[in-house]
Amino acid sequence: MTTLTNLLDLDPAQLVAYCGELGEKPFRAKQLQRWIHQFGASDFDAMTDLAKSLRDKLKTRAVIAAPAIISDHTSADGTRKWLVDVGQGNAVETVYIPEENRGTLCISTQAGCAVNCRFCSTGKQGFNRNLTVGEIIGQLWMAEFELRRTKGIEPGPKGERQITNVVMMGMGEPLLNYEPTVTALKLMLDDNAYGLSRRRVTLSTSGVVPMIDRLSQDCAVALAVSLHASNDPLRDGLVPLNKKYPLVELMDACRRYLEFAPRDFITFEYCMLDGVNDSDQHARELVALVQGSNPVPCKFNLIPFNPFPESGLIRSQNPRIKAFAQVLMNAGIVTTVRKTRGDDIDAACGQLAGEVKDRTRVQERMKKMADYQEKFGSNFGRIVEISS
């Protein structure tokens, strides 16, 4: 039995090559790509300007298959969250955030996450596997045409585009699933697919330095870095990857990236954790970090923490967040505080959990930690900041 090729897995160049294998000219790939990504077509018979002989070939050799939708919830504020099935007992989440002048889609790149940041509920499930190109771009394909169907907007370039911005900020660390992520990015930017500008596509990373450098050469989109701490000892505890790529290396990588980036700044995301990383001293350390002898042009996006039981952390109080932001703004750094959206359907930042088979046994290890805390007191294993 022949395995059908999922055409959602192919970027523009790969689709040209695939059509070549079928004995077709390159322009057929463009037509095919427009049918798939601009019209949301999954039925080859609907592709009326393709020769019937080509349609017949495709019907026996190819398929257009996005992950199946398990659930679809819309929040009181209009945020819409889909849980999609990526097979092997895994599901990931995709979130659409409507705003007055744009619609942003938050896409997942892995089932679970291996980075295990302390304040993120996704990481607490452990990691199962990387998503394929079709599973990554399939989230955009599914969401764009689902939104159009819901609103009665026709598919194709004449219908108003629903998703104007994409953020790779869902489940997973995009740069640890590098090739499929970059292939999906190329499709998002291609004029015969979604035609998004590089400025409107943002990849969020916890700081995989070598891959930041590769991305600058392969497909430089807007970059957001999950910073969350102002010094190495604190970040080592909150973002374990920091032990491998400490802040000085991360800042150097950000400067190098900016030479190729579509925006002239890096966005630093900073989750506000009560009593952990939210003092004025932390804010002053951040100013020194990004404005030192070799500044990093940047803006800060402060994210009120979305608490979940296993983290042992709580959200900073609003007056504290305001005071923290003021220190950054007084230093001339553009600073925003993210509105929490979709809380009522667990679609807010750091809440994307999906259903993931825990191959890394995080749940088991956390249970052990809870047992130790019961035995040795609640401070066992907690991050304690040591002031010099």
Q: Quick: pLDDT tens for 311-326.
A: 778 899 999 999 999 9
**Sequence-distant (≥ 6) Cβ neighbours of residue 237 within 8 angstroms:** 118, 383
CA-to-CA distance for 182 and 198, rounded, in angstroms?
12
Assess whether pLDDT exceeds 70 at residue 350: no
Three-state DSSP class for residue 137: helix
User: For the chain, what is the total number of helices (H) and then of strands (E)?
Assistant: 11, 14
CA-to-CA distance for 93 and 72, rounded, in angstroms?
10
Structure tokens at 380: 């066992």
User: How do 201-205 and 222-226 pair as beta strands?
Assistant: parallel
Looking at residue 345, its pLDDT comes to 45
Phi, psi of 98 (to 5 degrees): -85, 135
Assess whether pLDDT exceeds 90 at residue 264: yes
**Where does residue 112 fall: left (phi above 0), alpha (psi -120 to 50 degrees), or beta otherwise?**
left
Phi, psi of 43 (to 5 degrees): -110, 115
Q: Is 285 a catalytic residue?
A: no
Assess whether pLDDT exceeds 50 at residue 243: yes
pLDDT-based confidence at 385, cuts 50/70/90? Answer: very low
Looking at residue 23, its pLDDT comes to 93
Name the binding residues for [4Fe-4S] cluster: 113, 117, 120
CA-to-CA distance for 147 and 80, rounded, in angstroms?
9
CATH fold, domain 68-376, is TIM Barrel (3.20.20)
pLDDT-based confidence at 386, cuts 50/70/90? Answer: very low
Edge-to-edge, what's the strand order for the sheet holding 334-337?
68-74, 80-85, 91-99, 102-106, 165-168, 201-205, 222-226, 266-272, 298-304, 334-337
Assess whether pLDDT exceeds 70 at residue 266: yes
Give the tens place of pLDDT for each residue, 101-149. Answer: 899 999 999 887 777 777 776 656 667 788 999 999 999 999 999 999 9
Catalytic residue among 19, 24, 93, 135: 93
Looking at residue 176, its pLDDT comes to 93
The closest alpha carbon to 251, from 285, 202, 217, belongs to 285
Assess whether pLDDT exceeds 60 at residue 342: no
The closest alpha carbon to 308, from 179, 121, 170, 168, belongs to 121
Name the binding residues: 113, 117, 120, 172-173, 204, 226-228, 306
Structure tokens at 4: 């059908």
Q: Is 269 a catalytic residue?
A: no
**Sequence-distant (≥ 6) Cβ neighbours of residue 56 within 8 angstroms:** none
CA-to-CA distance for 168 and 162, rounded, in angstroms?
17
Looking at residue 378, its pLDDT comes to 58
Class of 5-63 per CATH? mainly alpha
The pTM score is 0.84
Least reliable range by pLDDT among 16-20, 38-42, 250-254, 382-386: 382-386
Structure tokens at 292: 């030192």
Least reliable range by pLDDT among 151-160, 232-241, 258-267, 366-375: 366-375
Looking at residue 242, its pLDDT comes to 95
Mean pLDDT across the stretch 143-157?
91
Name the binding residues for S-adenosyl-L-methionine: 172-173, 204, 226-228, 306
Structure tokens at 16: 């040209």
Name the residue ranges covered by the structural domains of the chain: 5-63, 68-376
Structure tokens at 120: 């993120």
Catalytic residue among 106, 254, 298, 349: 349
**Sequence-distant (≥ 6) Cβ neighbours of residue 388 within 8 angstroms:** none
Give the tens place of pLDDT for each residue, 185-196. Answer: 999 999 999 999
